[in-house]
Structure 1
C-alpha cells in the first residue's frame, strides 16, 4: 500500500470527509437556487416578455434540461478519467456567472442561451460528486450520505422561493437573478483549496475493473443491467412529478386562487423536503440492513404513492392557503427519494463507472422529468384542461400516472437487484 493510499484511508469517514460533504452540499444548494429561480420568477418574466405557458415550460425545463442531459454523459466519463475537483470548481464558476448576467436579458433568446450555459456547467457537478463521495465514505453509509447531499436540492429551491421571490417582489426579476448568482462565485476559492482527490474505489472491497474500457463498453455494461433500466425509468417518473409541480405551483396559485403572493412561502416546504430526503436515506439504509439491499427501492414507492391524496386535496382546495399547505406537504413526501436514487446507482456499477453512471441517470431524469414534464403539462393547461381548475386537473393527471408507473418500475427493479449488484 502506498503512502498516498494510507493517508487517503485515514480520510474515509473522517471529520474532513464530513466537511467536504457539507461543502459539496452547499455547492449543490447554489446550483439549485440558480436552476429553480426561473420558475420562481416565471410570472414576472412572462408578463414582461409576453410569453405563454408553453414558452415558460420551455424556458424553465427544456432550455436547461436538454443541454444538461446531453452534456451529463460525457461529463460523467471525464469525471471517471480526470480530476473531479476541477470539474466541480469550473462548473460552479460558470453557472454562477451565467445566472448573474441573465439579469441583463433583453429577450427570450438571451435567457434561453444563458440557461443553456447553466445547463452545461451544472452537468459537471453531480457525476463528479457522486464518484467523490463514494470514495470518502463506506458503502453502508451511502444512502444517508447521498441523501444529505441531495437535501441541497430542496434547500436550494427553498432559498430560490424565499430569497429570490422576496427580492423579486421588493425589486424585480432582474435584480433577483443577479442576487442569487453572486454567492456561487464566492464559493469557488473555498472549493479549490479544500477538496482533495482520493484513489478511486478505495472504499470498495475487491475493487477490480478494466481501466482500458472504452466509453461505449462502459455504457453497454451499465445498460445491460435490468435493475438499472428500471431504476432510471422509475425515478424519471418521480422526477417528472417534482419538476412539473415546481414549474406550475405558481400558476395554480395565480390562476385558480389569485394568490400568487403566497408563492414565496412555498420555499419553506422545500426546506422541509430537505429533511425528508435525509430521513428517506436513513430509512433506506435501515431497510437494507434489516431486509436486504434491494429494499432501498421501497423508499421510491413511498415517494410515488403516499403523496397522491395530499396532492389531490391541495390542487382542488377551496382557498389559496389550503392549496399551499397541502401541495407543499405532498411535495415533502414526493421528493424524498432523491438521495436514495443517487446512492442506489453506486451499488450497481464498478468504481471507474460511477460518475458516468451518475451522468447517465441525470440524463434520463432530465430528459423525461425536466424536459418533458413542464412542456407537456403546460400544453395540457393551454389546450386540454380549461376552466377554473384546469391547471389543477392537468397536474393531477400527470402526478397520478407518474406515481403509479414509477412504483411498478421499482417492484421490477427489486426482482433483478441481487443478480446485478456489485460487491458493496
Structure 2
C-alpha cells in the first residue's frame, strides 16, 4: 500500500497541494492579524508593510534562487519536506515576538523556509504530468492559495478573537509539520524530464544556468508579467482585511468569515476552471493562454476599483472575492508556459526566479509602498487613507495586461522561443 502511494502522482499531488496551502496560510495569516499586532506592539502601517511584505520578500529572494538551483540537483521531495518543517516552526515563533525586530526575524525565518517549497513542487509537477494537462494540474495546485485564504481569514480571524494573535500563530504551525513528515517518508522522487524528450541541456553551474534563462527571450517578459500580477494580488490580500475593518468598523472575526469564504470559493473555482480552460486554449496555440491571462488582469483591475468604491461591506466582500479570483488566474497558464520553454534541469530554478521577481513586487514593494502612501495620506484622510492608497493597483493591473499581451504576441511569432545554451 505504501509503495503504491509513493509512486502515485495523485497522492503526490494531494501532498503538494496541502504543502502549498500551508505555504500560503503561513505567509498570509499575518494579514488578518495586522490590526491586533499593530495595537499590541505599537507599530506603524509602514512597519506592518515590512513584516508582512518587504522583510519577508527580501529573504525569500535571497534564499530562492540557490534553493531552486539545489532543487534541480537533489531529491526534491526531501527538500520540500525540510522547507515546510522550517517555515512552520518559524510561524510558531511569530507568536512569541514582543517587538518589531523579533517579529521581523521570525518572518525572515518563514521566508527562508518557504523559498525552498514552491520551486521544488513545480518541478515535481512537471515530471508527474505531461505538457497537455500541466495547466489544469497547476490550476489545482495553485487553488491551494484559495483554500489558504478561507482558512487564514475565516479560521484565523475566529481563532484570533477567541485566543489572540499569539496562540493563532502557534496553532497554525502544526499542520505544516505533519505534512512535511508525510512528504519525507511517503513520497518517491520521479525521473526528471520523463515527458520531455530532447529538452535537457548539459549540467550547468548556477551562473551558466542563469545565463540560459536570461537568453530565453520570452522568460524575462514572463517575469515582468509575474511582477505586475503579484504586485496587485498580494497587496490586495495583505491590506484588504485592514481596509474593511477601518472602513466598516467590524472585527477580525466578522471580516475574516465573510471575506475568507467568498474569496476562497471564488478563487478556488477560478484556479481550477482557469487551468482547465488554459489547457483547452493551448490546443489553438501555445500563445493563446497568455492572451487569456492578459484579459484576466484587466478584469482584476476593474474589480479592484469596484471593491475600493463599494458603499457597503457586503458589496466590498463580493467585489474583493471576484478581484482575488480574476487576479489569481495568471498563475497556472504563465507557469505552464514557463515549464514548457525550459529544459527539465532548469525548471525549479526558472520557477524560483519567476517567484523571486513576483515576491519582490508582491510581498516586498506592494504592501510597503501602499503602507507608506497610506501613512502619507493619513493626516488629511484619516482611516480612509489606506483605501485611497490602494487605487494605485488599478493602474498596475492595466499595465500588466499589456505585458501578457506582448508575451502572447511574441510566442505566437516564435513558437520555438525556448531555452538555449549560453555561447
- TM value normalised by structure 1: 0.92
Which of residues 281, 285, 298 is equivalent to 1:305?
Answer: 298
Q: Match of 1:421?
A: 418
TM-aligned CA deviation for residue 403 of structure 1: 1.3
Distance 1:390 1:114 in 2: 29
| 1:419 aligned counterpart, secondary structure | coil
Which of residues 171, 177, 181 is equivalent to 1:185?
Answer: 177
Higher mean Cα deviation, 74-83 or 224-233? 224-233
For the 8 Å contact 2:263–2:320, the answer to whether it is kept is no
Which of residues 148, 172, 175 is equivalent to 1:156?
Answer: 148
For the 8 Å contact 1:228–1:413, the answer to whether it is kept is no
For the 8 Å contact 1:250–1:260, the answer to whether it is kept is no
Q: Match of 1:7?
A: none
Q: Unmatched 5+ residue regions in structure 2?
A: none
The alignment covers a number of residue pairs equal to 410
TM-aligned CA deviation for residue 365 of structure 1: 0.3
Q: Match of 2:268?
A: 274
Instruction: Give matches, 1:79-118, under 5 Å.
Output: 79-118=71-110
Does structure 1 residue 412 correspond to structure 2 residue 409?
Answer: no
For the 8 Å contact 1:269–1:331, the answer to whether it is kept is no
Q: Match of 2:327?
A: 334
Q: CA RMSD in A?
A: 2.0
TM-aligned CA deviation for residue 256 of structure 1: 2.0
Distance 1:60 1:303 in 2: 26
CA displacement, residues 254-280 of structure 1 (integer Å, 9 cap, x when unaligned): 222223443212111332202211111
For the 8 Å contact 1:226–1:413, the answer to whether it is kept is no
Distance 2:238 2:99 in 1: 20
Q: Match of 1:225?
A: 216
Which of residues 280, 299, 312 is equivalent to 1:319?
Answer: 312
| 1:318 aligned counterpart, secondary structure | coil
Q: Match of 1:364?
A: 357
Which of residues 332, 337, 352 is equivalent to 1:344?
Answer: 337
Distance 1:306 1:188 in 2: 37
Does structure 1 residue 168 correspond to structure 2 residue 160?
Answer: yes
| 1:337 aligned counterpart, secondary structure | helix
TM-aligned CA deviation for residue 44 of structure 1: 0.4
Instruction: Give matches, 1:65-76, under 5 Å.
Output: 65-76=57-68
CA displacement, residues 285-320 of structure 1 (integer Å, 9 cap, x when unaligned): 11111x201111123213211123332222112222
Q: Unmatched 5+ residue regions in structure 1?
A: 1-9
Distance 2:307 2:37 in 1: 26
Higher mean Cα deviation, 172-181 or 246-255? 246-255
Q: Match of 2:228?
A: 237
Q: Match of 1:403?
A: 397
Distance 1:303 1:156 in 2: 21
Distance 2:342 2:334 in 1: 14
Q: Match of 2:367?
A: 374
CA displacement, residues 166-185 of structure 1 (integer Å, 9 cap, x when unaligned): 10011100011011111111
For the 8 Å contact 1:278–1:339, the answer to whether it is kept is no
Q: Match of 1:48?
A: 40
Q: Match of 2:241?
A: 250
Q: Match of 2:387?
A: 392
